[in-house]
Amino acid sequence: MPRTKRVALTFDDGPAESTTTIVEILEAKEAPATFFVVGRRARRLPDVVRRVAGSAYAEVGNHTWSHADLVTLPEEEVRHEITRASDLLRDLCGAPVTAFRPPRGHHDRVVRDIAAQAGLDVILFSLNPKDWANQDADAVVETILGQARDGDVVVLHDTLVATAAAVGRIIDGLRERGFVIVPHRELTGDLAPGTWSDGATSGAVRAARYARRQPQRLRAHASRLARSAGLRPGAITD
Ligand SMILES: [Zn+2]
């Protein structure tokens, strides 16, 4: 029997109006997900955060207070961004949050140390369909279903209406392709303080993805060379 393929869904940058819609879909389909919320948005929409925290299928995580790029900030501001969000979320959720995702996935030793001191695991992602780029539900579904590999942690944005419209089809499509949707901790496990995870098999996933894209990269490189040599676009083909 083939080994079960597992994938985790995460949603960043909320809470937003569409967050509740997504939680309802997760519940109807009995699929878990984690929502990495921005503190100052949570302060404006506390009921949405409570709705997420109260769901059996959703976890609230910390995505900083103001969505700052932490690696550009002095240490004290990094600490403030992380702990201010954790304090508010603990109050709203009734329990400490334990998962943290730095904005843009940018982290360094300072960020990781402060996250560890705040009791947070740093959870990155391995599959990014860039749902913010086109905000096209069909394209998001197609990208995820075409690229998902065992062990992937998928990043989406619950702030986007198009993403909310895609979630049901993403879940159904992944399941049709043999994936089980699991909480990210089933892939990332229990982390030691100061370490981080971007998906249990992300090294292998990244290598496979890189290899698959090599022919496209080489074609693009060849046509750039052709253009710079004054040849017609398309003069060099495979
Ligand atoms: Zn973000």
**Bigger pLDDT: 153 or 235?**
153
Of 150, 157, 158, 198, the catalytic one is 157
pTM summary value:
0.82
Q: What are the structural domain ranges in the chain?
A: 5-200, 203-238
Between the CA of 133 and the centroid of ligand 1 the distance, in Å, is 13
Q: Is 190 a catalytic residue?
A: no
CATH T-level fold of 5-200: TIM Barrel (3.20.20)
Between the CA of 126 and the centroid of ligand 1 the distance, in Å, is 15
Between the CA of 76 and the centroid of ligand 1 the distance, in Å, is 21
Of 9, 99, 11, 86, the closest CA to residue 42 belongs to: 86
Supply the pLDDT for residue 197.
Answer: 62
Return d(Cα 236, Cα 225) in angstroms, integer. Answer: 9
Q: Is 12 a catalytic residue?
A: yes
Between the CA of 190 and the centroid of ligand 1 the distance, in Å, is 23
Residues 3-37 pLDDT 10s: 689 999 999 999 999 999 999 999 999 999 999 99
Question: Which of the four pLDDT bands, split at 50, 70 and 90, describes residue 1?
Answer: low
